Amino acid sequence: MLYVRALIAVIRQPLYLLITTLVAGIVFTFAVWLPSLSLIVIVAKNASLTELLSLMWSLYGAIGSNFTAISASYTTIIAILFGLNVALLTYYIRKMRGGISNANIGSTGAASAGGLVSGIFGIGCAACGTFIFTSVLTLFGIAGVLSYLPFGGEEFGFLGVGLLLYSLYSLSKKITDPMVCPI
Amino acid sequence: MEETNQKQPNQYLIPVAILIAGVFVAAALYFTNTNSAPVANTGTNQPAVAQQQPQPSGSTDAVRAVTGEDHIKGNPNAPIKIVEYSDFECPFCKRFHNTMNEVMDKYGESGDVAWVYRQFPLEQLHPVKAMAEAVASECAAELGGNDAFWQFADRFMELTPSNNQTDIETVIPQIVKEIGLDQTAFQTCFTSGKYDQHIQDDIDNAVATGGRGTPWSIMIGPDGTTYPINGAQPLAAIEQLIGIAKNSQ
């Protein structure tokens, strides 16, 4: 409960709320636009700015049509958790600059990065082999392994959520821990 | 001295973690925007096409010209054509099938847009069934023409659960009966293997245009510009794209 209070206290500050929102927005946008990046590039060359922006806006609807309910949920959760992680990490680094060591934030940073990476692997239409995880597996000639995974690759999304939650817990704990020298 | 040594291994942990995340994000961008490695297979338990040969350019311009041999809904001479490479077992193809039917309801009658259906069964993900369903749809077209193909496709998408859970022994004969095809002639066609090469040609073309999964579609504008549509994009995006293609002529 103490850790949740610490988290809330940080993101109630406008700067950290802004960081959370911006980072979450970027991660979410990246996930939703990922399959359409080449389309966006082509349209940017052939259409007006208004048409391009309208298309990009309409592509946000892909979260409902191009994702399963589960993958849409964890994609949104990953984006928000990653935004919170970056905000908390920024807060921690800024407020405790004097007493901080790389050792203190190393494992937390690794968990954040691991969570994002794992989340990215889980993004997309694993069932239809459209996106990243399948592409990586086929690169190594083992795409068939997807049919043996109970959730067809979405496991990586769940792992991403878990890692980011751990990272958030770890950061909140460090923020609430008193700055003392160990005996 | 001892404390310094303890801190050493962690000194670069955050930069390395960020670097790794960056590499994965870059890899994600690379994999989703190049013709890296499709998962489609021939439907005969052969290794995937991508594992057999180097990939072509992956340009959407490599889309095969639309001819009378294609399955076309709407005006065959429409200025805008949406060529879809689809798998009957793919749940997202089902969604996109509904989206495309809505597109055709809106733009089909005026003759502005035509929908072209090509086969892209993903054998590795939907073994046996996806290929069998592709063959069945081709046989429906052979026996009942273009209309029978679309009746088969619409009904199949409506009835089946996807993700290789379709009971093809029951559903295919049921649809064949419903749309009034000769069941004996259908069975002869279905087991003949005569459409294997045709389906393989569709798969090859999907791969050549950069398709790595389904649904994979290419919109061809009036001026010949090709637009890739990856996955089951929403109706609003397809409508925006139709508007852009119209304005670009």
Dump the DSSP string for A92-157.
HHHHTGGG--HHHHHHHHHHHHHHHHHHHHH-S-GGGT-SHHHHHHHHTT-GGGGGGSTTTTTHHH
| Range from A73-82, B53-62, B203-212, B240-249 carrying the lowest mean pLDDT | B53-62
Q: What pLDDT, on the 0 to 100 scale, is given for residue A99?
A: 58
pLDDT 10s digits, B118-171: 999 998 888 899 999 999 999 999 999 999 999 999 999 999 998 889 999 999
pTM of the model: 0.80
At residue A122, the pLDDT reads 60
Residue A113 CA to residue A105 CA, distance in Å, equals: 12
This complex has an ipTM of 0.79
Q: Among residues of chain A, what percentage have pLDDT more than 70?
A: 64
Task: Return the higher-pLDDT residue of A144 and B181.
Answer: B181
Residue of A nearest to B214 (CA): A128
Question: Which of these, B122, B115, B141, lies nearest to B39 by C-alpha position?
Answer: B122
Answer whether residue A129 shows pLDDT above 90: no
Q: Is residue B196 within 8 Å of B172, Cβ to Cβ?
A: no
Instruction: Assess B50–A contact: CB distance below 8 Å, yes or no.
Output: yes
Q: Work out the average pLDDT over B81-99.
A: 95
**Mean pLDDT, chain A, whole residue set:** 78
Residue A107 CA to residue B42 CA, distance in Å, equals 46
Q: How far does B49 lie from chain A, in Å, by closest CA?
A: 11
pLDDT the model gives residue A165: 86
**Which residue would you say has higher pLDDT here, A111 or B196?**
B196
- Please compute the mean of the pLDDT values over residues A9-35 and round it to a whole number: 91
Cβ distance B227 to A42 less than 8 Å, yes or no, reads yes
| CB-nearest partner of A36 from B47, B226, B233 | B233
List of chain A residues whose C-beta atoms are within 8 Å of the C-beta of residue B236: 58, 61
Report residue A10 as tokens. 């940080």
Nearest to B241 by CA among A46, A6, A167, A8: A46
Helices then strands, counting H and E runs in chain A, come out as 9, 0
The lowest-confidence range among A34-38, A45-49, B178-182, B197-201 is A34-38
Task: Tell me what pLDDT residue A90 has.
Answer: 86
Stretch A144-161: mean pLDDT: 71
| Nearest chain A Cα distance for residue B177, angstroms | 29
Closest approach of chain A CAs to the CA of B197, in angstroms?
Answer: 22
CB-based contact B20 A135, cutoff 8 Å: no
Between B5 and A179, where is the model more confident? A179
Confidence of residue A19 (pLDDT cuts 50, 70, 90): very high
Q: What pLDDT, on the 0 to 100 scale, is given for residue A6?
A: 83
Average pLDDT over residues A8-36: 91
Q: B231 vs A35: CB contact, 8 Å cut-off?
A: yes
**A-B contacts (CB, under 8 Å):** 199
Average of per-residue pLDDT across A160-164: 80
Q: What pLDDT score was predicted for residue A158?
A: 80
Secondary structure (H, E, C), B2-64: HHHHHHHHHCCHHHHHHHHHHHHHHHHHHHHHCCCCCCCCCCCCCCCHHHHCCCCCCCHHHCC
For residue B84, give the H/E element and its range. strand B80-86
Residue B218 has pLDDT above 70, yes or no: yes
Interchain CB contact of B165 with A (< 8 Å): no
CA distance B235 to B184: 39
The more confident residue out of B40 and A89 is A89
Please, is A59 exposed, middle or buried when counting C-beta atoms within 10 Å of its C-beta (0-12, 13-18, 19+)? buried
Instruction: Give yes or no for residue A78 having a pLDDT over 60.
Output: yes
- Rounded to whole angstroms, the Cα distance separating B115 from A114 reads 42
pLDDT at B203 over 90: yes
**How close does chain B come to A15, measured CA to CA in Å?**
22
- pLDDT score recorded for residue A118: 67
User: Which pLDDT score is estimated for A181?
Assistant: 57
Distance CA B106, CA B206 (A): 27
| pLDDT value for B2 | 44
Question: Residue A72's CB: how many other CB atoms inside 10 A?
Answer: 17
